[in-house]
Amino acid sequence: MSNITMIPPRVFHFQSAAEEKIFNLIAKTELDSTFALHSLNLPEHEYKQWAEADFVIISPKGIIVLEVKGGRVSCDGGLWTFTDRFGVKHRKSESPMNQAKSARFALEERLKRLIDFKILKKINFGFGVIFPDIQFNTSSVEFPDQLIFDSIDFDRNKLAIWLNNTTQYWAEKTSRKELLDNKELSEIIRVIRPSIDLVPSLVSKVSGVVDKMVKLTEDQCRYLDILIVQKRVVIEGGAGTGKTFLAVEACRRLSAEGKKVLFLCRSPIFAWHIAGVLQNYGVEVFSLERLREKLEKGEKPEFELLVIDEGQDFLDMVSIEFIDNLLDGGLENGSWLFFMDKNNQGSLYEHYDEDALAFLRSAGIAWPLLDNCRNTKQIAIQSMMYTGGDIGRCRIQGDGLKVDTSTIYDSEEDEIQAIEKKLVDLIDEQEVQPGDITLLSMNDFENSVASKLDKRWRRKFFIIDNSFGNQWHRTSLTFSTIRNFKGLENRYIMLIDLDSFNGSREDVSQLYVGMTRANAYLWMATPKKIKHVIDKIIAANSSHVASYLQKLGEKTEND
C-alpha cells in the first residue's frame, strides 16, 4: 500500500491552520493510485467568477472535491458563521456542503471542454466536507453522515476509510462504478493541474523566501558561542544581517546562565517589541528615554551585562558618555555587546560622530556580520542604488521578486489610486494575508495619504505607534512611520508619502531604513517631482553598486 501522492508535494503558505492539518494528514494516508491536488483554482463557477476547491482527490474510483472548515462552526437562520483561531468571525449564507457541491460542478464543467468524453463519462464525481477542529453531530438531508469527516475521525486517522466510503456513496448515486486506469488518471491530472496553475503564486514565492531566511538567520547562531564569552564586542553589520536576532539570543542564553542582562535601544516601540519577545527570560528591556527617566528617579537597574541594539542611534558623544557612566567600569572595563549598522544611513537620530565610534571601537573587539539573512538580492541592490547603504552579501539562493518602483505619480489622488490598486492586487487577487503587509510613510497617519484611502482599507489598519503591543493580527494591515518601524520587518512593504524627500542625509536614512524592512516584496510609489533627486542619487551610487555586484559574482563562483 502506498501513500497518497500530493500535488504539489510541498505548500509554502496555507490559508488556514485547518488546511495545513488536512494536507499533512492526506500526505501520510495510504491509498493506492490516489492523488491529492491542493488549492485547485476553478475559473468558472455557478455563483462566483472563480472558486477554490481546498482539495481534489483523484483515484481509480473517481474525483472527490473536499471543502475544509477549521475553527468553530455555527449556523443560525441559514447564515453560517466560521470563527478562526484568532477569534475573527466570517459569515456566509452558503453552507460548506453547498460550497463543495458548487466547486465539484464547476470542475466537471471545466473538464467537459478539456478531456475526452469517453473518459469523462466514466468519472464518478462527488464531494465532501472536513471539519478537523469540531465534532459535527448534526445529521440532515443536506449533510449526510457519509460526506462528513470531523475531529473524531481526524483523531482516529480514519481518512482512508472515509475517502473509500465517500467514493462508494457517490458511485451508488451516479451509477459510475467502472474504475479509471492509470493512463486515464494521468490524463485527468495532466489536464487539470497544468492548465490552471501555470506559475507559482506570489504568496508561495514570498513564503519560500521567508522560509530560507529563517534558516539562514538561525545559522548566525554559530557566532554566539564566540561573542558571549567576550567582555566587550562591537558587532557591525548592515540591515538584515541578523543583529537583533543575535542580540536577543545572547540575552536569552546569558540570562539562562544566571547573568543579569539589560537590553537597551533608542526606539520606545522597538523596546516594547523586544520586551514582549524576552518577557519570559528575566531580561530588563529599556528604551533610552525610559531608562533616563528611571535614573532620574534614582532607580538604577542592576545588571552585569549591557546589550545595545540599533547601536548606530547612540553614536554621538552625549549618548556614548551616558553609556560609559551607566556601566560599572565604563566602556573600557565594563561588560557589553554593542550591535550596530555599519552604514551611516542606519540612524534616524543624532548625527553620526566619528569620535564616538572611534572611542567605542578602541574599547571593544570588532566583529563584522557580512551575510544578509533578511532581504533578497533584489532589495539589497535597490536599497544600495537609492541610498548607498551596503546591507551585506545576500544568502538567499535563487531569484527574488523584482522591486516594484514603476509607480510614478503626479498628484495625491494618483497615489491614493495606485495604493488601492496594489492592495486589491495583493489581498484580493494574490490572497496575501493583510497582516503580512505594512505601509511605511515619512508622515504620521493623520498626514499620510493612507488616512484618505477608501474606508474598506482604513478600517483594516493597525497603527504602529507608542501604544503598539508585541504583535499585530494577520487580519490587519499595518501602518507605521519609518521611524517607528525601525528594528521591525514584514514580508511585504509598501513605501508611500515620499513627496518631501529632498536627498538630505536624514531623508536618505529614512529611505534606507524603510526599504530594508522588506523581507521579500518591496513596492514604492514615487512622486514625479522628486524623480530627478532619486536619479541623481542613483547615478552617484552607480560605481558602488557595480562593485557590489562584482563581489556577489565572485562569491557565487567561489560557492
Same domain, 240 and 124: no
Cell numbers found for residue 173: 448515486
Same domain, 292 and 148: no
Same domain, 381 and 362: no
Band (454; pLDDT cuts 50, 70, 90):
very high
CATH number for 405: 3.40.50.300
Please name the residue that has the C-alpha cell 441559514.
78
Position 51 scores a pLDDT of: 53
Does 52 score more than 70 pLDDT?
A: no
Q: Are 261 and 251 in contact, with CB atoms under 8 Å apart?
A: yes
Same domain, 361 and 446: no
Does 106 score more than 90 pLDDT?
A: no
Same domain, 432 and 495: yes
| 336 DSSP β-pair partners | 232, 306
Same domain, 61 and 143: yes
Percent of residues, the chain, with pLDDT higher than 70: 82
Q: Which of 77-91, 379-393, 523-537, 542-556 has the lowest mean pLDDT?
A: 77-91
Question: Considering 369, 388, 403, which residue would you say is the last residue of a domain?
Answer: 369
Band (544; pLDDT cuts 50, 70, 90):
confident
Same domain, 89 and 9: yes
In a domain, 108, yes or no: yes
Question: Considering 335, 369, 403, which residue would you say is the last residue of a domain?
Answer: 369
Question: Considering 369, 396, 421, which residue would you say is the last residue of a domain?
Answer: 369
407-447 per-position pLDDT tens digit: 999 999 999 999 999 999 999 888 888 988 999 999 999 99
267-290 per-position pLDDT tens digit: 998 998 899 889 888 999 999 999
The count of domains in the chain is 3
In a domain, 206, yes or no: no
Band (47; pLDDT cuts 50, 70, 90):
very low
In a domain, 221, yes or no: no
Same domain, 142 and 70: yes
Enclosing H/E stretch for 40: strand 35-42
Same domain, 396 and 308: no
Same domain, 289 and 305: yes
In a domain, 211, yes or no: no
Residues 6 or more apart whose CB falls under 8 angstroms from that of 107 comprise 40, 42, 53, 56, 63, 65, 125, 192
351-365 per-position pLDDT tens digit: 678 888 899 999 999
Does 343 score more than 90 pLDDT?
A: no
| 343 DSSP β-pair partners | none
Q: Calculate the average pLDDT of the chain.
A: 84
> What residues make up the domain containing 33?
5-198
- Average pLDDT estimate for 445-452: 96
Q: Cα separations (Å) of 493 from 237, 291, 446, 522? A: 22, 31, 20, 5
Most confident of 44-48, 447-451, 555-559: 447-451
In a domain, 166, yes or no: yes
In a domain, 169, yes or no: yes
Q: CA-based angle 487:13:92, to the nearest 5?
A: 110
296-337 per-position pLDDT tens digit: 999 999 999 999 999 999 999 999 999 999 999 999 999 999
Does 46 score more than 50 pLDDT?
A: no
Same domain, 250 and 282: yes
111-170 per-position pLDDT tens digit: 888 889 999 999 999 999 998 888 876 655 567 888 989 888 786 778 999 999 999 999
In a domain, 210, yes or no: no
174-212 per-position pLDDT tens digit: 999 999 999 999 889 888 765 443 334 455 555 554 555
Same domain, 429 and 539: yes
In a domain, 460, yes or no: yes
Does 533 score more than 50 pLDDT?
A: yes
